[in-house]
A and B are shown apart, each in its own frame.
Chain A
Amino acid sequence: MIGGGVLAGALAVCALVCATYLARTIGWPATVAAGSSRQARSDGGYARRMAVYTGFDSHGKESGLFRWLTTVDHKDIGLLYIFFGAAAGLWGGTDGMMIRTELLTPASDVWSAGTYNGIFTTHGWTMLIFFVTPVFFGIANYFLPIFIDADDMAFPRLNAIGFWLLPPSLVMVRGGLITEMVGKILGLVIPIQYIDFLFALEPPELGWYIYTPLSVTATNPQVDIALLGLHLSGIATVMASINFIATIFVERSEETTWADLGIFTWSILVTAGLALFAFSLLGSVLVMLLLDRNFATTFFAIDGGSPLLFQNLFWFWGHPEVYIIFLPATGLLSTILPKFSGRKLFGYKYIVYSTLAIGVLSFGVWAHHMFTTGMDPRIRASFMAVSIAIAVPSAIKVFNWLTTMWEGRIRLTAPMLLCIGAIGNFVVGGITGVFLAAIPVDLVLSDTYYIVGHFHFIVAGFIAAMMMAASYYWYPILTGRMYDRDLARLQAVIFSVGSAITFGSLLILGQLGLPRRYASYPEQFAPLMQVASIGAYAMGIATLMWLFNMLQSYRVGAVVTDADVWDLKRSQQFSREWQWFEKRLESDYGIVPTAPPAEEIRPSAQWETPERTPAAPTAAEDFRSIARDAVVGAAGGALAVTLMSAVLGAATLLGFLQPPLLTGLARILGIEPGTVFGLPVSLVLGFAVFYAGGVIFWPTVFAAGAGRFPGGNRVLVGLSFAMLLWPGFALGFYSGQTGFALVAYLGSTLLAHAVYGATLSASFEYLNDRYEIASVL
């Protein structure tokens, strides 16, 4: 036995030696001999000691294990949170891979059905509670005080306690697996009957939402331990939330006003507010459940209590929890995306408002998880309304992100690629959510794989992707080194595409009616299930690539010699954390900051570049230029509307469009029927109004707003303008066509508008150049 131990130890050492040897022979590190600590700088000097920079100083702190056990520094605690969360995420990810492996085959043959139930339960808990929130709280711990220029969190010790409650609660929640593993390892050498006690605890098989009555009647003692663990983690989350709220309210420096807060800070504030109310409630629900299980209370019993009460209480926590994990990710996206778009975040205020709106609304939608429970239809309908309403602020965010990128100087770095992929995944995840919020749809799709697809598009394709983006974006600050950019880009693409494949297949499976949470399924679903598993393995590969990049770059990555790693000064986005980094590099490592000075950044609230104001024109010049603009506009408009009329006329002749609709105006005005130039008066009048609108009204709107319509060159601007008008037109002149007629109708009006927009802007452009008109265009 001792021999076995020595052997195992020797094997471990041997593996270490081999790995190092292998790494050396295949060429890591590549070029420079190990240990050179001098780094050339762009100005020809050398940066001192940067090689030993590891992300933070240890001035005046304990060292070694003791330091990490006793630290109250927000940066250290932040790192502990991040490490813990990442470890939990890898563990939960392993569960996910095991789930997908079981589902490769229709029968429940890889693991037993019980094991499968256990894995999906603990997968959910681990990911939602021990992965996402800790990682975001870690990032916030590290950076939030820097963003608001605070010395530390408001309550540093509370901060430390909040973190240290998490590892024990994770062990409690997942203890069954640990004892079972020890049992299984021992079982290889020891007759099982001697170590039976190790198998007394098994992972609970309840699903992450522990519905009663099953969770009351399940006899597995591990359920109680896990509930206590969840309770403990809830306490930790509440503590951290109080701390964040207090920090943001009272620890801001004098200069940091509410309007200066970055989006990430806002989203952490809202998240913490949500968590404060939601997790306190979860605590009481868990206690009630424990009492029901162990002390014969009947809160949730079928006789004398109500299992549905449990669902109500659970989702009153559960839905806000969904936003607790989602909002910080949107905060990260809103922070990172503008940096690589070269533009300030579009609509800062609206993003803040939408975050606050989500915060409030998220407490009013919980019953959309219970549409199938047969509650009062009137109550159900009101929950449907609020659930659909909550999609509005989410959509506002998406539009603001897209508009931020539009016409930006986009740089496809790894964090940016992840942001782009995340927006795409969020659109799918969000829209499927809106579908589910509609009761008739939900009644069909509830408890199918459609639900799993819906939320994984967000939790994996959006939230996890944003964590990776943040890890790349701030890697230089955390480690003083640069990650492997090629590898990271590749990883970003594999991850985003992998999640779209995996969860897209789940959406289809759900629509085909496959219920979730069974280890076995009918044969005909196997191909799609296998595609989903392949996508999942690709995500697993991408995750390992990320991990490798983080670790390996820490060893051999290029040392940072200029704090402006991302060239942010150029777009005036060299934000607080980077300024802090720059100061630190200068004071500790003698790296002189590059120009321009960091003071020239704009606060978050100010998202437009201050324009240079031209010299005021005189009144006469003013008038002449206005007149010229008007003439040019009318000329362009006339040409455009003529061509458009030609297209519409052709469509009318082909029968795609109903001319009588133009004539409605005459009837409204009460004009007598008659003829002018041989045509009905009503038609002529209608057409005249239409034509005048095309010549005068729409060109004016176009000229006034041209700077604000998206598009690269002016023809594109004109086209996008016309596209904005088209839906109104199509709706207004719709006369009940269906089938092919509808398609033809939509197509021909679309074409007409395209012609109008393109002609309008092209003629504007031509006339402008020709007559040198300084119009708004």
Chain B
Amino acid sequence: MDRNYLFTYIVPLIGAFVLAAGIGGAVLGTYSPVQNTFGLCGSPDMTVFGPEESPQTTSSGGFEFPQFAYEELSDPARSAFEEALRSPTDRHSVEGTLSPDEREALLTGSVVIYEGTEYYAAITPHPCVNVTPLLLPASLLALLVGGVGMLAPIAWRRRVGRPLHGGDTGNVRSGLALFREGPYEGVGLIGSFGAASVVGLVPLIGPLLGGSIVGAVAPTTRRAAVLGTYLGALLTGILAVATVLLPSAFVFVPPLVVTLAPLVGPPNAQGVTILVVLAPLLLAPVSAAATRRLTRSL
């Protein structure tokens, strides 16, 4: 076979499928320990339907659902039941172990009598990923082999002295300059502004990150600062409205400050809230301008 054809198409084609075959195993193999470590699995979710919806499920044809009084439930089941009732999504995870019988009954779905009313409760299991130990190394090998196969065209082109890009490369635009100058300027800004205004809502870290996202694609340092100011104003506005609607939104910050910097001592909650709300005004423009400056050469 023509070697040019072989290395340009056939080898990377096979490589791509080998790579694809490795992805699944690699993901499961690495995710499995992470899942266990962070407790992302194991506890089933309990869903509870109130008196209005439950008859739809329980009265549908010929099946007798097990019945429990609320008091008969185990502790974990009880607290999950209450949390689920309170939750807008009718669902909460069950922390702790259920007895086999209870688990069995809840898996099929049960009627729970709580304060004299019938509720329908059911759990959905969420077992942990469990893969054979050999899967991960085998998949990583597949990733490696596939990756090498997919990169073969680059090596081949280099060997025969062809430009690495399939077209003849005559002229190069810098990466970020795409967005900074030339007619596409601004397209990137719209997207980055949107992303930044979501990311920026995270207290204190957010405005810094958001500012640098906007700054990276801003045309000049000065424009970066201006855009950062807009962003900061927007974020402060959103946070202010959020605090008015949900006064307790930022109560979590003071204890956090204490854990992170014990020497400072417990700060005043109101002061912290004001700080969090106003911080974007300063942080966003500064980080935007700084990012633009630091990435001048890109």
Please measure, in the bound complex, the distance between the C-alpha atom of A57 and the C-alpha atom of B184, giving whole angstroms.
Answer: 10
Which of chain A's residues have a CB closer than 8 A to the CB of B287? 5, 9
Interface string of A30-48 (1 = CB under 8 A from B): 1110111101000000000
Interface string of A188-207 (1 = CB under 8 A from B): 01110011010010100000
Question: Does A512 interact with chain B (Cβ within 8 Å)?
Answer: no
Is the Cβ of A554 less than 8 Å from the Cβ of B178?
yes
Question: Does B102 interact with chain A (Cβ within 8 Å)?
Answer: no
Please measure, in the bound complex, the distance between the C-alpha atom of A413 and the C-alpha atom of B13, giving whole angstroms.
Answer: 16
Which of chain B's residues have a CB closer than 8 A to the CB of A553? 165, 167
Which of chain A's residues have a CB closer than 8 A to the CB of B178? 554-555
Chain B nearest CB, measured from A141 CB (Å)? 15
Chain B nearest CB, measured from A438 CB (Å)? 29
Chain A nearest CB, measured from B91 CB (Å)? 7
Please measure, in the bound complex, the distance between the C-alpha atom of A104 and the C-alpha atom of B31, giving whole angstroms.
Answer: 13
Is the Cβ of B170 less than 8 Å from the Cβ of A559?
yes
Question: Does B23 interact with chain A (Cβ within 8 Å)?
Answer: yes
Chain A nearest CB, measured from B185 CB (Å)? 5
Which of B69-77, B109-117, B232-240, B290-298 is near enough to bind chain A?
Answer: B290-298
Question: Does A705 interact with chain B (Cβ within 8 Å)?
Answer: no
* Cross-chain pairs A/B with CB under 8 angstroms, 28 sampled: A1-B205, A5-B205, A5-B208, A8-B208, A17-B295, A17-B298, A30-B163, A31-B169, A32-B171, A34-B171, A36-B170, A54-B184, A105-B131, A112-B41, A189-B256, A190-B252, A191-B252, A191-B255, A197-B246, A217-B53, A484-B166, A486-B153, A488-B166, A537-B24, A540-B20, A552-B165, A555-B175, A556-B173
Is the Cβ of A68 less than 8 Å from the Cβ of B172?
no
Q: DSSP majority for the A interface?
A: helix
Interface string of B22-39 (1 = CB under 8 A from A): 011001100100000000
Question: Does A692 interact with chain B (Cβ within 8 Å)?
Answer: no
Please measure, in the bound complex, the distance between the C-alpha atom of A91 and the C-alpha atom of B152, giving whole angstroms.
Answer: 29
Chain B nearest CB, measured from A680 CB (Å)? 62
* Interface of chain B residues 1 through 46 with chain A (CB within 8 A): 8-9, 12-13, 16-17, 19-21, 23-24, 27-28, 31, 41, 45
Is the Cβ of B172 less than 8 Å from the Cβ of A490?
no
Which of chain A's residues have a CB closer than 8 A to the CB of B193? 65
Please measure, in the bound complex, the distance between the C-alpha atom of A202 and the C-alpha atom of B212, giving whole angstroms.
Answer: 29
Is the Cβ of A538 less than 8 Å from the Cβ of B16?
yes
Contacts A493-B13, A556-B165 given; does A66 touch B291 at CB 8 Å: no
Question: Does B105 interact with chain A (Cβ within 8 Å)?
Answer: no
* Interface of chain A residues 351 through 396 with chain B (CB within 8 A): none
Which of chain B's residues have a CB closer than 8 A to the CB of A113? 45, 124-126
* Interface of chain A residues 75 through 90 with chain B (CB within 8 A): 79-80, 83, 87
Is the Cβ of B167 less than 8 Å from the Cβ of A485?
yes
* Interface of chain A residues 166 through 220 with chain B (CB within 8 A): 167, 178, 182, 185-186, 189-191, 194-195, 197, 200, 202, 213, 217, 219-220
Q: Which residues of A approach B to under 8 Å, CB–CB?
A: 1-2, 4-6, 8-9, 12-13, 16-17, 20, 23, 26-32, 34-37, 39, 51-52, 54-58, 63-69, 79-80, 83, 87, 101, 104-105, 107-110, 112-114, 167, 178, 182, 185-186, 189-191, 194-195, 197, 200, 202, 213, 217, 219-221, 302, 481-490, 493-494, 498, 530, 533-535, 537-538, 540-542, 552-559
Is the Cβ of B170 less than 8 Å from the Cβ of A39?
yes
Is the Cβ of A9 less than 8 Å from the Cβ of B212?
yes
Question: Does B106 interact with chain A (Cβ within 8 Å)?
Answer: no
Is the Cβ of A213 less than 8 Å from the Cβ of B165?
no
Closest to A494 in B: B16
Which of chain B's residues have a CB closer than 8 A to the CB of A27? 154, 158, 164
Is the Cβ of B295 less than 8 Å from the Cβ of A16?
yes
Which of chain A's residues have a CB closer than 8 A to the CB of B91? 114
Please measure, in the bound complex, the distance between the C-alpha atom of A31 and the C-alpha atom of B295, giving whole angstroms.
Answer: 25
Q: Which are the 10 A-B pairs with shortest beta-carbon distances?
A: A194-B252, A484-B166, A5-B208, A558-B167, A537-B20, A538-B20, A30-B163, A5-B205, A482-B167, A68-B186
Is the Cβ of A63 less than 8 Å from the Cβ of B27?
no
Contacts A105-B28, A485-B166, A558-B168 given; does A4 touch B205 at CB 8 Å: yes
Please measure, in the bound complex, the distance between the C-alpha atom of A87 and the C-alpha atom of B194, giving whole angstroms.
Answer: 13
Is the Cβ of B165 less than 8 Å from the Cβ of A167?
no
Most buried by B among A79, A217, A498, A559: A217
Interface string of B168-193 (1 = CB under 8 A from A): 11111111101000111111011101
Is the Cβ of B127 less than 8 Å from the Cβ of A109?
yes
Closest to B287 in A: A9
Contacts A1-B260, A182-B202 given; does A9 touch B208 at CB 8 Å: yes
Q: A493-B13, A558-B165 are in contact. List 6 more A-B contacts (CB 8 A).
A: A8-B208, A32-B172, A52-B182, A112-B126, A219-B89, A537-B21
Please measure, in the bound complex, the distance between the C-alpha atom of A344 and the C-alpha atom of B35, giving whole angstroms.
Answer: 57
Contacts A9-B212, A54-B184, A534-B20 given; does A182 touch B198 at CB 8 Å: yes
Chain B nearest CB, measured from A214 CB (Å)? 9
